[in-house]
Each structure stands twice: as C-alpha cells, then as structure tokens.
Structure 1
Amino acid sequence: MSEDDKDPARQVIADYAQQFFRYFRTADGTVYAQKNGHPVARPIRSQGTTGSHRQELMVGLFHDGHGVFNGTALKEALDLIEALALSEHVQPVHIRVAPGLDGATWLDLGRDDGQSVRIHPTGWTVLTPDPAEVCWRRTQLTGELPMPAKDTEGKGIDLLMRLCNFANADTESLAIAWLIGCLGPSVPVPAPFLTGPQGAGKSTAGRMLVRIIEGMSGDLRRAPKDEENLISAVAAGWITALDNLSHLNPDLSDLMCCIVTGAETIKRALFTDGDVHRSRYRRPLLLTGIDVGVIRPDLAERLLPLRLERPRVRRTEAELWVEFEEALPVILGSLLDLTVKVRAADAETPTDLRMADFAHLCAQLDIATGLVTLHAYRTSLDDLNDDVIEGDLLAQTVLKHAATLATGTEVRMTSSEWLHCLTALYAGEESRPLPKGWPTTGKVLSDRLKRLQPTLAARNVLIDWGRSRTARYIEMTHQPTEQADQQDSLL
C-alpha cells in the first residue's frame, strides 16, 4: 500500500476512539470519555495520575495492534472528538454516590470492573450500572471498598459501635443517621463534630466513619489555609474530613456552611481571558477537635456534635485497624441493610428545624429501629445554642434585657436606641469597658441580631424588623414558654 492510500494517524485514532468509547459533556462543558459498557468516565483533557483518557487510548491502540502514535496525532484526534462531543446530550458525572432511576441511589465501590451498589427501598444489590444511568468520576481520593456482606442481621453496626468510643446511645444513633445520610446524594447532612477529652480516640473514630464510605485509603486532613485549596479537596472526594480543629475563623466557618448545604464557585478558566470554570459542590463534612472556640450561629445549625469518652482499655493501633478492616464488609453490609429499612419507613418531616431533610431521616430511623434519634438531634441543637450564647456577649446581654420584660411584651426601638440600651446594660454602673467586637453603630447591631435571631428564638426571645412612618425599628418580644411550646407542637 502506498503512503497516499494510508489513513492519517489522527483518523485511525479518531475511528478507534469512536468505536470503543462513548463521549459526552457535562453542564459545565467538560467532555468525558466512557469505555463502552463501563460506568467510569474520564475527562479527555485530564493528565492526572489516576489514569487519563489519553493514556487509556494509547494503551488500547497498542494492545489492539494499531501501533504507537506520536503526541501530535493524539492531540489532533482528541481535538476533533472534543468538538464533536460538544453537540452531544448533557449528562452529569458523580463521585462515590449518585442518584439512579426509580428512586434508587448508587454507591461506587471504586473497583476496576465498575461494580457498584444499587440501593432501593425494596433492597440493595451489587451490579454494574448502565453507563446511560450512572457515570462515575474517579480521583486519587476514590478508594476501593470491599464487597459488602449479605444477611448480617445488624452485626456490623454493633461491631462499629464497639470500635468507637461514643459517649452514649444517643450519640451512636446520630452517627448512624449521618452515615445513612452520606449514602443519599440529595440529602444535605449536618457536619459531625467529634469532640471529647484528649485521648478519647476522636481522630480514630473519624477515620473509621470516613472509611466506611471512602475505603481504607480515606483519611483525615488538616484544614487548608485558603478557600481555593479547601474547595479543590472537597471537589475531589465525597466526604471531606478535617482533623484537630482548634479555631474557626469567620471565613472558614462560612465556607463550611456552603459545603454542607451547597454552593458554587466561579473562576477564570486556564489559558483564557473571558471564559470561566464553574464548580458546584455539596458534600458531607466531618470535623474533629477538643474545642473550636466561639461557634457562629449559622454554622451551629449545620453541626452534629458527637461526644466521645476515653476508653478504659487501650489497644495498639495495628490491632484496632486489623479488626476494623476485617469487619468492614460486615459493617458496610449492615449499613446498607439499615439504609433500605430507613428509606422504606414513612415518617413526617419536622418543619421547625433548619436541616429538615436530616431531621426527616432521623424520624425514619426512629420508626425503623425504635431509637430516639430525632430527640437526640434536637437536644444536640439545644446544646449548640448554649455554646453560641456562651461565646457571644451580645447574645447574653439581649437575654439579660429580655428577662426584665414581662412575657408577651413587645418593645420597639430604633437600632441606635437598642445599641445605647444594650451597651448601658452591659457596661453597668461600674462602666466596665466594652469587649472587642462589640457593635459600634446601629447598623452593625442590626446585622449581628440577624445572625443571632434563630439562637435567641430558641430561648423564647423573638427579634423582628419593621418600619413606622418616621423610621425603621427593631422589635423584641419575650415570648411565654407555654406559647413557644404550643408553636413547636404545631410545627
């Protein structure tokens, strides 16, 4: 055959690629390649160490006898494929957990053969998902999970609780509820904060909870110093676990709120002037630490405190992890069994809690098991409200002022008048100096009260804003305890 009769190398590559791979794009315009019949997708522009599509294509061409091609031919072929894929239908890719058809969800086991767990209220099974239904994305953080055990009769949950040092049964039930929530891609779950005295095994328990979902390669990490690095870590895995926190600055606190309930970041795309790259994320978050200091009210509503206690009998690290790894298939199987029962349970959704989806899950867990998880969740939120108040002198001063009001009395003043009133109450007759961060203007006071509004409402002090003919005002009402209880029961 003459040189003129040979197909160009880029044509050989493009024909081979379209024969053995399926190409599609996501909503942000990224083009992915998926081997026919296999659920794992790789971005065609990826050069990552988890295996790029370029490498996958080169290996396939070599093994099938087409030879070795130079970089120019591969680049030209991939440029053409990328352009053609931009006209294909949009399909999302998922990390670890994904929604499926008919009310099912999927759990990626991280296996090379693509086998995954399909979870449905009627049961769970291990199989390879249809690529048209689920497309998995893998990163270096995607560890392999063992094949879950069948017919465990709940033994795995007991094994897990025996390995962790949770303080009481309520804490154990909240940990189980969080794990079940992690298997639901559409359920935002509060971030468990594992706390307790030094030596209580907080980091070890955190690793165990993470590795049930992420495999034995899952681990805790230090909180990144900037927002961009934390978002990159969040986007590359399913559960983000931060270890040994001792302080939460306002920026990190706000970012954690976004991670739990979902947000989007936009930054300039590389090597462009006007194009942008969008990153949407909502991930389970786990924290450990003895004490993080002052907790902001908006983060407190998104936290799930799990207290641990020091074990009476110490074990070596090696013995502990050998036992956990051996028990992991049973633990995962029991968790899947319980998840099926919980999703099949019919429960009303509590409408008075911020994380209503998780509260509904707690109610379902109670019906399926007879536990009191929802009550434990409410109690934990009350404890967090106490922590917020103890760390905020303005909140303490507002409650001190409200205690002087007759129940049901409404007091209206402008923000400047409230600032003068509360400042005088805090300073007292001895005119003690105001603390750092005390509001300096009526506007700052109004903004602080908006943050504290849910916390104060939990202590029967209602704050509202309005406008009269002459000026705006802030209204404070000391609600009777009986009336508050009636409203909670109606909710």
Structure 2
Amino acid sequence: MAEDEKAPAARQIITDYAQSHFRYFRTTEGTVYAQRNGHPVARPIRSQGTTGSHRQELMVGLYRDGHGVFNGTALKEALDLIEALALTEDVQPTHIRVAPGFDGATWLDLGRDDGRSVRIHPTGWDVRIPDPREVCWRRTQLTGELPLPAKDTNGKGIDLLLRLCNFANAESECLALAWLIGCLEPSVPVPAPFLTGPQGAGKSTGGRMLVRVIEGMTGDLRRAPRDEENLITAVAAGWVTALDNLSHLPPDLSDLMCCVVTGAESIKRALFTDGDVVRSRYRRPLLLTGIDVGVIRPDLAERLLPLRLERPRVRRTEAELWTEYAQILPVVLGSLLDLTVQVRATEADIPTDLRMADFAHLCAQLDTAVSLGALAAYRASLDDLNDDVIEGDLLAQTVLTHAAGLEPGAEVRMTSSQWLHCLTDLYSGQECRPLPKGWPTTGKVLSDRLKRLQPTLAARGVLVDWGRTKAARYIEMTRPAPVPAHQQTAL
C-alpha cells in the first residue's frame, strides 16, 4: 500500500482510539484538554510539558494496545481534527490542587497517579476518585504528592504541627490554622500570612511546614520575582505561592500581591498570532516570610496576616526535623480535614466591618466550633498593621496630628490644594523642616495618597471624604463624636 494510502488509515486509527479512550473538552479560555476515561487528571492536547503530554500518553496507549507506532504527521493531523471537534463540546474548567464540587463539596488533589483525591463536605470527608465531569485536575511540576490523610486523629495532628512551628503566641497559632482551612476553599480569598520574627526564629522553616500541608513535601519557598510576568507564571503553576526572605516591597510588587490575594486577570498576546490573546485568571493563597519589609502600603496591609515567631530554645538538624515532619504529615492533614469539616458545618454571623469578610467569617466559624479566639486575633493583627502603616507614612502622621486638634464631631472642608498647604505648614512647623522624599507636591497627588490612606485613617477615628460644590471639588475631614456608652450597649 502506498504511503498516501496508509496515511488516512493511520489518522483514522488514532482518531478512533483517542475518542474511545479519552474525553476531550475545552475551557472558557478555549484550551482543549484530554482526560483519560474514568481518570480526573486532564492534559492540554498541545502541551509539550515535562509532566507528560497528551501526545505522549496517546502514543504509549496505541503501542501497548497493539496498534503499532505512528509517525508524527499522522499524530499531528489526528490531534488537529480532535481539537477542532472538541471546540464544539461543553465548557469545563480545570483546577490545580483545590476545586469546587457538586452539592457544596470541595476537592483536594493528593497528586497521586491513581487520581485519588479528598472530597470535603460539611457532613465529613473521604478519599475517592472524583467523577471526571465534576472535577478536572491540571498538574504541573509544582504539583507534589500528598500522603493519604489519617482518619480518627482526634486533633492530634494540629498539636504536632504547632509544636514544630515556633509561633510566639496563641493568636498566631489560631490565625495559621484559619489560613490553612481557608486554603482548602477555592472560592474564598484569604489574606497572606507574613511570618516575621527575629533572626533565627525559623521563619523559612515554618513557612515550608505550612505550605507542605497543602502542597506536599516538594512544596517550597522561592525568592520574590523581578517582574509581573514571572510572578504570574509561578502563581498559575501552583496553588500556594510562598515568597521567602522579603526585605523590601516596591509599589509594583505590593500592588501585584494585592491582585494575587483577591483575584485578577492577565492578558497577553498568544504566540505566533497577530491579534489573538491568552487570558490568565488567578487568585491564590500567598505566604510571605521576612524580618521586616519596611513601609507597607495600606491596601496590602488589609490583605496581610502577621504571624509572629520566636527563636527556639533547642536547635535540631534539618534531616531530623523533616524526617519527623514527613512522618506526622498524614496525621496533620487528617486533623486539618476534620477541623475543616467541623468549621464548615458551623453557622456564625458574618462580620461586616472588615474588608476580607470571607476570612473574617471563617474565623468566626472557627471560634464557634472550637473557641480559639481567631476573630479577635484577626482584628488585633489588622490594628497592628495599621500602626505599621502610620509609622511608615509621615503624611498619615501629619493628618492624625491635625485631626487631634479638632473638636469631636468637627468637619473641615477644603480643596486639595488648601489641604496640601495646611498639612505642609503643619509638618514643617516653625523650624521649617525640609519636606521628606515622597511628600505630595500637588493637590492631585495629595488626594490620591489620602484615598489609599482612607481605611487606615478611619481605623484611627479620622474620616476622609470627597465631594464638590458648584465652585470646586473639596476634601472633607471629620473627627466623629464618640458614641455614648448606653448606645454602644444597645448596638
């Protein structure tokens, strides 16, 4: 038989085999994935990745089932046809590590070759292979394997984990637990833990321990990327993104971290095209470590979760520490799943005064379930971060100094230029101190800075608002009158 007569037969064999052994679907971004029948892991059919491509598994399947070895042209033409046919199929998302399921459940990918995953529901959790139409896992080199979680731990794993971490107080411990529970919920943004403490407190080690509860023993910390594209690439390839040893947060990185925590979308031109684009949506748990990052911008401060560590009294070798951690990880994971089920089955009021309301609600549920004081600790941590923002911002300090001279209930309206002149004179004083670097130079710059500082100032009893009259726009500062004690009781 001539080569041109063999080619259609080869394409037909490959196409028939592929459609009988694999399920093909597309995502909202238009990427076509292949999912082996009965298996939850999906691979993009165009991938040439090191974690295994669909082309490779198709070639292996054809060979092992006795259909022979096919040349690259036949495979390419067959996959081109399969991809075109899949574009008419139903749309289904793919997920890394954590995914929503049916009936209010969520799933945790254990990263195993057999596809077994953990189904978490308010009624309990169990290990099973999910229905491929319910969950499609996407895996990368960052997807490590988790051990099978232990059953009936009676919370022992939580104590074992906290004993290895060097948390300085109970508040940091309960906030770390709340964050781990939040990492198992794909639809809820969680603030980024910032592990801080003196040199030698084990911040990097503690960060790895928290990350590896979710990502397995291959999970690790990495240095902060130099640009947005590299950070988005790292975020998209895994579930928890952990940045180690931060000493400075430039404005661009600070803004990008805010986007990672609460969710955003990146768009770039598709390769080898003139007008097509690739969309990347991301919202991931983020973890940071460092002694001090300097000045924290107010919008990032509302998305951080400071966890204090202290120097351990007894030092252990790395080999001894991680050997013990690997041994207790199944018990730790089982205890965390037990606690997660208990929290999700608990009802609690949603705090409406905090920006990260979902995480605040989780803390309230955790308090109702096991009475750890997580919500109070979360409020206290935000208060500490407000102090850090004010201590690092001379404009905020000057505004508070001005407000301290107002009568309770007083309202002051001025244009932005008038406010700039007023605050500049107040800062310079009679000594005519030179203005610091970064001090606002125009009314517009001042107005923008005040908008960033608005939540921080409100937490210290100074309300800033904007409005306009027929003549001009204005900025209004108010120092509210204190609420009488009998009204506070009524509230």
Give the TM-score taking structure 1 as reference length: 0.98
SS in 1 for 2:104: coil
Q: Which shifted more, 10-19 or 184-193?
A: 10-19
The 5 Å alignment of 1:13-412 reads 13-412=14-413
In structure 1, how many angstroms separate the alpha carbons of the residues matched to 2:327 and 2:486? 48
**Counterpart amino acid of residue 313 in structure 1:** V
In structure 2, how many angstroms separate the alpha carbons of the residues matched to 1:21 and 1:120? 29
Partner in structure 2 of residue 456 of structure 1: 457
In structure 1, how many angstroms separate the alpha carbons of the residues matched to 2:488 and 2:111? 47
SS in 2 for 1:165: coil
- The answer to whether the Cα contact below 8 Å between 2:7 and 2:74 also exists between their aligned partners in 1 is no
**Counterpart amino acid of residue 182 in structure 1:** C
In structure 1, how many angstroms separate the alpha carbons of the residues matched to 2:16 and 2:287? 46
Consecutive unaligned residues in structure 1, runs of 5 or more: none
**Counterpart amino acid of residue 138 in structure 1:** R
Structure 1 residues 477 and 2: alpha-carbon distance in aligned structure 2, compared to 1, 3 A threshold:
closer
In structure 2, how many angstroms separate the alpha carbons of the residues matched to 1:325 and 1:168? 25
**Counterpart amino acid of residue 350 in structure 1:** P
Deviation at 1:370, TM superposition (A): 1.1
Structure 1 residues 298 and 6: alpha-carbon distance in aligned structure 2, compared to 1, 3 A threshold:
closer
Partner in structure 1 of residue 421 of structure 2: 420
Deviations 1:275-332 (A, max 9, x none): 0000000000000000000000000000000000000111111110001000000000
In structure 1, how many angstroms separate the alpha carbons of the residues matched to 2:490 and 2:234? 41
In structure 1, how many angstroms separate the alpha carbons of the residues matched to 2:447 and 2:486? 27
Identity %: 83
Structure 1 residues 149 and 102: alpha-carbon distance in aligned structure 2, compared to 1, 3 A threshold:
same
In structure 2, how many angstroms separate the alpha carbons of the residues matched to 1:467 and 1:131? 56
**Counterpart amino acid of residue 125 in structure 1:** D
Query: How many aligned positions are there?
Result: 490
Partner in structure 2 of residue 471 of structure 1: 472
SS in 1 for 2:287: strand
**Counterpart amino acid of residue 263 in structure 1:** A
SS in 2 for 1:349: coil
**Counterpart amino acid of residue 293 in structure 1:** G
**Counterpart amino acid of residue 239 in structure 1:** V
- The answer to whether the Cα contact below 8 Å between 1:263 and 1:282 also exists between their aligned partners in 2 is yes
SS in 1 for 2:368: helix
Deviation at 1:482, TM superposition (A): 3.3
In structure 2, how many angstroms separate the alpha carbons of the residues matched to 1:6 and 1:199? 65
Question: Root-mean-square deviation (CA), in Å?
Answer: 1.5
Deviations 1:24-63 (A, max 9, x none): 0000000000000000000000000000000010100110
Structure 1 residues 229 and 5: alpha-carbon distance in aligned structure 2, compared to 1, 3 A threshold:
closer
SS in 2 for 1:259: helix
In structure 2, how many angstroms separate the alpha carbons of the residues matched to 1:183 and 1:489? 38
Structure 1 residues 6 and 27: alpha-carbon distance in aligned structure 2, compared to 1, 3 A threshold:
closer
- The answer to whether the Cα contact below 8 Å between 2:408 and 2:479 also exists between their aligned partners in 1 is yes
In structure 1, how many angstroms separate the alpha carbons of the residues matched to 2:300 and 2:70? 54
Deviation at 1:6, TM superposition (A): 8.5
Deviations 1:394-433 (A, max 9, x none): 0000000000000110000010000000000000001010
**Counterpart amino acid of residue 59 in structure 1:** V
**Counterpart amino acid of residue 197 in structure 1:** P
In structure 1, how many angstroms separate the alpha carbons of the residues matched to 2:190 and 2:274? 37
Deviations 1:116-151 (A, max 9, x none): 000000000000000010000000000000000000
In structure 2, how many angstroms separate the alpha carbons of the residues matched to 1:484 and 1:108? 52
**Counterpart amino acid of residue 465 in structure 1:** W
**Counterpart amino acid of residue 91 in structure 2:** V
Deviations 1:169-188 (A, max 9, x none): 11100000000000000110
Structure 1 residues 487 and 144: alpha-carbon distance in aligned structure 2, compared to 1, 3 A threshold:
farther
Structure 1 residues 318 and 461: alpha-carbon distance in aligned structure 2, compared to 1, 3 A threshold:
same
Consecutive unaligned residues in structure 2, runs of 5 or more: none
In structure 1, how many angstroms separate the alpha carbons of the residues matched to 2:6 and 2:260? 57
SS in 2 for 1:279: strand
SS in 2 for 1:219: coil
Deviation at 1:487, TM superposition (A): 8.1
- The answer to whether the Cα contact below 8 Å between 2:466 and 2:476 also exists between their aligned partners in 1 is yes
In structure 2, how many angstroms separate the alpha carbons of the residues matched to 1:213 and 1:31? 28
Deviation at 1:480, TM superposition (A): 3.0
SS in 1 for 2:401: helix
Deviations 1:216-241 (A, max 9, x none): 00000001101000000000000000
- The answer to whether the Cα contact below 8 Å between 2:172 and 2:307 also exists between their aligned partners in 1 is yes
In structure 2, how many angstroms separate the alpha carbons of the residues matched to 1:143 and 1:488? 52
SS in 1 for 2:115: coil
In structure 2, how many angstroms separate the alpha carbons of the residues matched to 1:246 and 1:481? 39
Structure 1 residues 31 and 379: alpha-carbon distance in aligned structure 2, compared to 1, 3 A threshold:
same
Deviations 1:337-358 (A, max 9, x none): 0000000000000000000000
**Counterpart amino acid of residue 103 in structure 1:** G
SS in 1 for 2:213: helix
SS in 1 for 2:477: strand
Structure 1 residues 216 and 35: alpha-carbon distance in aligned structure 2, compared to 1, 3 A threshold:
same
Give the TM-score taking structure 2 as reference length: 0.98
In structure 2, how many angstroms separate the alpha carbons of the residues matched to 1:315 and 1:215? 21
